[in-house]
Structures are given as C-alpha cells and as structure tokens.
Amino acid sequence: MESKEQKVMPFIRRLLDGAEVEWKPLGEICAIKTGKGITKKDAISDGTYPIISGGKMPMDYIDIYNREANTVTVSRVGANAGFVSYISERFYLNDKCFSIIPKKDNVLIPRFLYYGLKSQEDNISTLQSQGGVPTINTAKLGNVRLPLPPLPVQKEIVRILDKFTTLEAELKAELDCRKRQYEYYRNQLLSFEMLNGGGKTLNNIITKTLGEVIKPTTNIKWSKTKSMYQYIDLTSVDIETKKISSTKEITSETAPSRAQKIVQTNDVIFATTRPTQMRIAIIPNEYNEQVASTGYCILRADNEQVLPKWIYFQLSTDIFRNFLENNQSGTAYPAISDSSIKDFKIPIPSLSEQQRIVSILDKFDTLINSISEGLPKEIELRRKQYEYYRNALLSFNHISEHKSASAV
C-alpha cells in the first residue's frame, strides 16, 4: 500500500510540470514591517477594525486601520512570538506584530505566503531572543526561506489547503453548535423553574446555599510533614476540558505560600481569581490527599444531601456565571471570596433525581469535551491530516532531491 508521501509527491511533480522551485529569504521577497503602538485606552469596544497585537486574538477594536485586508502577520513580542495569522479584513497593526507583504503580486500570492509561513511556525518561534520578554527581530525573520513555485502551482495548493481549512471550520462550527445546545439543556435541567414545575414536575424543591450542603476541609500543616505532594496551582486546571492537566511535586521546603488546601477525591475546586474564566474541576482519585492553591474554593459535598457532580454542574451554569459577575471585585485582577461562593443558592432535589440529571449531563459532557470521543477527536484527526498535507505540499526541497536522485 502506498504511503501518504508516495501519493503526494507525484501530484506535486505533475503540478510543477518540470518547473524549478527556488527558495528565497523572506526579506528578499516581502516587506516586513511593524505596526504602530497603541494602548487599551485608545481602543473602542464597538469599533470597526480589529487591533492585531502579539496575541492569537484581536486585542480590541478601533475606528482607524493601517493595514489592508488579506495580509499575513507574525507576532513579534511576547509568549506567542512567531504565531502566524492571515487577516482577511482591514485592521490596525500594533507594534507588537509584523505585517508580511509580498513586494510583487505576480511572484507570491498572500495566501500561499501564509501557508508557507504557517508550516514553519515552530521554527519561527525558535527565533525568539533568550532572556527577558521573548522577541523576534526583523533580520532573523527575514532570513526564513520560502519556496516560490509558479503562480498556477501556488493557486492550486492554496485551493487544496483552503478546502481543508473549510472542512475543519465546519467541524468546529458543528462542535460550537453542539456546545450551545448542551449548555442550553444543562441550564434548563438544572434550573429551579424546571425542577419545580416544568417538564417532569417535582414540586416543592428546596434551595440551599452551597455552604449548607458541603463539609469542612482542612489545610496542610507543613511543619509536621516531610512528605512529597502534588501541587494543584491556578494553571493546573484546563479551562476547556475542566480537567487537571498538570501539577508539580512539592515538599515543605519547596512549597509556595499558597500551597495550603488539602483536597480529596470528588472535591469540586473552583478558581476564585478571574472567576468568570470558569476554571473548575472534580478531584480524581490520583490527587486524593494532595495540595491545592488557596486560589481555589474547595467544595466537599455532604453526600447525604448532594452529589459532587450536582455541585459541579450547578457551578457550570449561566446563573452561576451571572452570580460571579455581580459579586466579584477588582477590575485588573477580579476575584471572589470563598464565603461569597458558599452563599450561592442551588436547588436540591432528591439524590435519585440528581443522579438521573447528572447521568444525562455526563453523556453530553463526554460527547462535547472528551478528547478520545465525539467531535473533538474528529477535529483533532482532521487537523493532523491537514497539517501533514500542508507540510507535504510545501516540501519542494524533497521534490528537488527526488529529481537529483533519478538523474544519477
């Protein structure tokens, strides 16, 4: 059976039809320019044009622009330095980003330029300066080499890769739609109105504060232990998957001051700093009796009244998000106290009814969020397939090597 590479290479050779592909430095074929500095206070939330800065998303919006549509950008400064993007509308380019514009339209198509740089994004990121704020300078970026096949070949490769991009976008749109459906049904299933009257009628459902349905927790006494613990800090919980993705080992000698709260299996933890990010997780068995940051509110369910998953899903609702927005304090670094969270009221149906609803929501959750099941897995497989073909279609140096070998 032919490998993917064996299938792609003949296709590229047919496209080239004997034409040579020259590799040239980016600075020779494109104008590499930084934008103009701008701050948040200059932005207009309902402005017309996005402000493209050093991040992966627009910094904000404004009513003026300094770059035309269909322009390639490369982040210049910060943690995302080297990130390649294609902006399909007029925009304002900040000084933390480069615009990459072909010097001659009849030599290089902007969209082909984007795919060429995107395939080298990892290598471009290694050009960051060492020490201090990561920065990529113009000279280093200008030395990145790109293939320059004939324009018809560029157009055909762009057509193929755009199709892959569209397919991936359609899958993401379907996933977003499923998520919205899930969130709607979750909010409905967990609402007091539904439990106390709508759908399957469960009259006289009581409400209690979280503080009334949880057990007390304890802090670690570092002076009395020499053991090693896994530390769950504020970055340990993945916002998207709601799982603990990473921890670090600590002892009494290395523990940061915030490493205080002992957690147990099935505890619900919720980050109280920047709370509307909804950084929430349930402690799995592997982190039983480990240590979490004081930046988490630990909610240990009283199992005679409420299931841990019932608390978890209640904290995932729009009602709770609205509660957070109304009760957090601070603008630059918003936070909410543990006591405020424990004042949040939730409906308390019977344990059997809680289990019925939790089982339904678990199935939705698996479909939407599991990396090994459902749409996310399909999207990830499509992305890997797309990246493979993108890199193969742009590997013209391999074509030259094949030609040289066959000529010997």
Look at residue 375 in the predicted model and tell me its pLDDT.
67
What pLDDT digit, counting tens, does each position of 237-275 carry?
998 888 998 899 999 999 999 999 999 999 999 999 999
Look at residue 400 in the predicted model and tell me its pLDDT.
43
Quick check: 196 pLDDT over 80?
no
What pLDDT digit, counting tens, does each position of 20-34 carry?
788 899 999 999 999
What pLDDT digit, counting tens, does each position of 363-385 carry?
877 776 665 556 677 777 777 77
C-beta of residue 82 within 8 angstroms of C-beta of residue 26: no
What pLDDT digit, counting tens, does each position of 390-400 carry?
777 777 654 44
* Crossing angle for the helix pair 351-369 and 151-190, to the nearest 10 degrees: 180
Kindly report the pTM of this predicted structure.
Answer: 0.58
What pLDDT digit, counting tens, does each position of 130-188 carry?
778 889 999 999 999 998 888 888 898 899 888 888 877 787 777 777 778 777 777 77
